[in-house]
């Protein structure tokens, strides 16, 4: 029996595939390579010594996805495949609603037809919107996402909850990520954004490698200790391990389970920059810029539920995140395009 990982060649997906293989799961990866590279699969095999069965398929292609289920004994699905850039979602909302929501509906229809009713869904802390105070708890309202990307996660969470209510055989876990950074300690896989990075850490590492001239720090007037926004940064390997725990929980308990995956600690943008400089002995030039619309002052998790119910908690420090991010970037200055 195998675990199907949609979007398994992406940043979080690839790290999760590594953890699955190292826990002796069989893995099948489906990815359309829209925002990922085929070279990732070779790197995964290099790290684990195990080959991954791969299909270059879009999850919207129901015929092709049906064939994947026909050719493999799939017992559960970890669903990462989605568009994920907040700014792009504001500019291209139809593209995001079509791909993320309709893609998930197509996947669930194929799963239902195949009799596979076990799914771990890659959600996001963006579902909490602007109005909930940190630390953010799973019981807080989630209908106030302030961008199309976040709202696609809200809709899919509702969709999965409705599906589980209608059919008690479904086992669903919704994992609300905070801010994943870092890379595998080998330096062989990591975050490899197309174009100008949307996220803070790859922007920092590209400044460090000389690919970008300086970091723009958006906002210096937030109600925080240094005026810059505070976020909950989690090492991608810790995040990946949370998916293994979620799979185990799905086997034990039907219905819908919801967990935050974060450290429960908030660090500011400048905290992260200073930690990166200290750990890696590299100066990061930056300039202070106006805050971006929609950005909030503080966002961090209450991760106690995952600790209590999944026996999961983060193990890696902010320094580990900074060290591993630079290890990846310095070994791969052009990403996977070496």
Please list the active-site residues. Answer: 149
Tokens, residue 303: 């991760």
Place of tokens 């309709």: 102
CA distance 274 to 199: 17
Q: Please calculate the CA angle 166-58-250 and round it to the nearest 5 degrees.
A: 40
């Amino acid at each position: 029996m195998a675990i199907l990982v949609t979007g398994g060649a992406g940043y979080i997906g690839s790290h999760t595939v590594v953890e699955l293989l190292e826990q002796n799961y069989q893995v099948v990866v489906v990815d359309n390579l829209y925002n990922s590279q085929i070279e990732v699969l070779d790197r995964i095999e290099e790290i684990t010594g195990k080959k991954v069965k791969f299909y270059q398929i879009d999850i919207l292609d129901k015929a092709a996805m049906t064939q994947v289920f026909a050719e493999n004994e799939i017992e559960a699905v970890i669903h990462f495949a989605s568009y994920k850039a907040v700014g792009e979602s504001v500019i291209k909302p139809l593209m995001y609603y079509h791909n993320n929501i309709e893609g998930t509906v197509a996947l669930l229809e194929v799963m239902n037809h195949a009799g596979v009713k076990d799914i771990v869904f890659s959600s996001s802390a963006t579902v909490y919107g602007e109005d909930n105070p940190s630390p953010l708890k799973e019981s807080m309202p989630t209908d106030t996402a302030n961008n199309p990307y976040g709202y696609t996660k809200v809709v899919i969470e509702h969709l999965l909850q409705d599906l589980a209510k209608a059919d008690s055989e479904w086992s669903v876990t919704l994992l609300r990520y905070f801010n994943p950074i870092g890379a595998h300690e080998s330096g062989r896989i990591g975050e490899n954004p197309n174009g100008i990075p949307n996220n803070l850490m790859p922007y920092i590492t590209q400044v460090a490698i000389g690919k970008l001239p300086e970091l723009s720090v958006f906002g210096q007037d937030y109600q925080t200790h240094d005026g810059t926004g505070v976020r909950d940064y989690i090492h991608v390997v810790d995040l990946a391990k949370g998916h293994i725990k979620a799979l185990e929980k799905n086997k034990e308990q039907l219905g819908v389970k919801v967990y935050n995956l974060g450290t429960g600690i908030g660090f500011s943008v400048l905290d992260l920059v200073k930690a990166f400089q200290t750990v890696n002995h590299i100066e990061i030039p930056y300039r202070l810029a106006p805050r971006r619309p929609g950005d909030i002052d503080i966002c961090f998790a209450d991760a106690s539920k995952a600790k209590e119910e999944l026996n999961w908690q983060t193990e890696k420090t902010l320094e580990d995140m900074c060290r591993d991010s630079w290890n990846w970037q310095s070994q791969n200055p052009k990403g996977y395009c070496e």
